Structure 1
Amino acid sequence: MSEIEDQIAALPDRSLLLLDDDQALRTRLGRALETRGFEVTTAESVAEASQHLRQAAPAFAVLDMRLEDGNGLKIVEDLRARREDARIIMLTGYGAIATAVAAVKAGAVDYLQKPADADDVVKALLATGEAPEPPENPMSADRVRWEHIQRVYELCDHNVSETARRLGMHRRTLQRILAKRAPK
């Protein structure tokens, strides 16, 4: 057994809620967490996760941020209300600083970008007060800029002119940026 598996085995409560609407990721990550020793319950929607929370509040949770029927932050708040000591990790394919801040303010202990490796998820779940290690593959400066533009664009209800005004850039420049794919 590895050191991490020993840590998990020593936990008094290994219950974990995994909420993600991507079935392939939910299945793969759920199996990986089970093999490491967690007792995993999966959910594919906010409604299903809320139903699981009414039955029992898990000690750990790995939650997707954006789901078809709502936002994973609602589950963070519901779980915090039922169990203050729960360790919650947020996952998202939309890695923006504003969403990370919202997740941590709601009560998540960490925020990981999809696709998250099971080992990274376990490290985040088991991390104590010390600062987390820097990511292996941090976002490039171009990607951070693109994410910020996308977030402002979303907050402006996809209004290009208003987004350009708020970002202090020309509308056509913004249109060209929005038409391109996200940088790596």
Structure 2
Amino acid sequence: MPDRLPHDKSCLIVDDDQPFRTRLGRAMEKRGFDPILAESVAEAVALINEHAPSYAVVDLRLEDGDGIEIVNKLHEKRPDARAIILTGYGNITTAVAAVKAGAIDYLAKPADADDVQKSLLAPPGEMPEPPENPMSADRVRWEHIQRVYELCNHNVSETARRLGMHRRTLQRILAKRAPM
């Protein structure tokens, strides 16, 4: 797959989760990309204005806006750029908005670097190969609960209310490790 990389291998990675952003940056570097890391919409837009990268991996929800703004800005500066959106809290509406903005794929977090690479390098108009090890249904559920919990500022009662579950059930789920 690395032989399909264009000459310019710059890859903007935008995520407000610093450990994830750093891990994905290292993994993409090992796969032949030149990662450029940013943690916010403002920082990403400034980097795009300096030098619009060939590729972008952008989190949908950031503290100062959303990743769709970044994809729009990237395509203004460099129409041939290939971008994918990552999200821990996806739905059909945001997936459609991401594709309309020019994202070539929409992946659930935490995305595997191999899946990110496959999406970025898939020939235009073709779908990337399905993931080798997709997340289990239990893991997807756990990720969704964690995301809602985070959005509720770690308030167990509010999270339980929004998820429509009993508070004690939620506490038991939060106390366990993530399923594989």
TM-score normalised by structure 1 residue count:
0.73
Name the SS for the 1:31 alignment partner: helix
Query: Identity of counterpart residues, as a percentage?
Result: 56
Q: Which residue of 1 aligns with 2:9?
A: 14
Check if 1:133 corresponds to 2:129. yes
In structure 2, C-alpha distance between the alignment counterparts of 1:177 and 1:52, rounded to whole Å? 37
Corresponding letter in the other structure for 2:24: L
2:32 corresponds, among 29, 37, 40, to: 37
| Unaligned stretches of 5+ residues in structure 1 | 148-174
Name the SS for the 1:179 alignment partner: coil
1:138 CA drift (Å): 6.4
1:71 corresponds, among 66, 74, 79, to: 66
Q: Deviations over 1:35-84 (max 9, x none)?
A: 11111110001110011011011110000000111111100110111111
In structure 1, C-alpha distance between the alignment counterparts of 2:47 and 2:39, rounded to whole Å? 11
Q: Which residue of 2 aligns with 1:5?
A: 2
Q: Deviations over 1:115-158 (max 9, x none)?
A: 00000000000001223334443675xx79xx8xxxxxxxxxxx
In structure 2, C-alpha distance between the alignment counterparts of 1:139 and 1:97, rounded to whole Å? 20
Name the SS for the 1:34 alignment partner: helix
Q: Which residue of 1 aligns with 2:112?
A: 117
- Taking structure 1 as reference, are residues 139 and 55 closer, same or farther at Cα in structure 2, changes over 3 Å only? same
| Unaligned stretches of 5+ residues in structure 2 | 145-160, 174-178
1:178 corresponds, among 152, 164, 169, to: 164
Name the SS for the 1:95 alignment partner: coil
In structure 2, C-alpha distance between the alignment counterparts of 1:130 and 1:93, rounded to whole Å? 24
Q: Which residue of 2 aligns with 1:99?
A: 94
Pairs aligned (count): 152
RMSD between aligned alpha carbons?
2.8
TM-score normalised by structure 2 residue count:
0.74
Higher radius of gyration, 1 or 2:
1
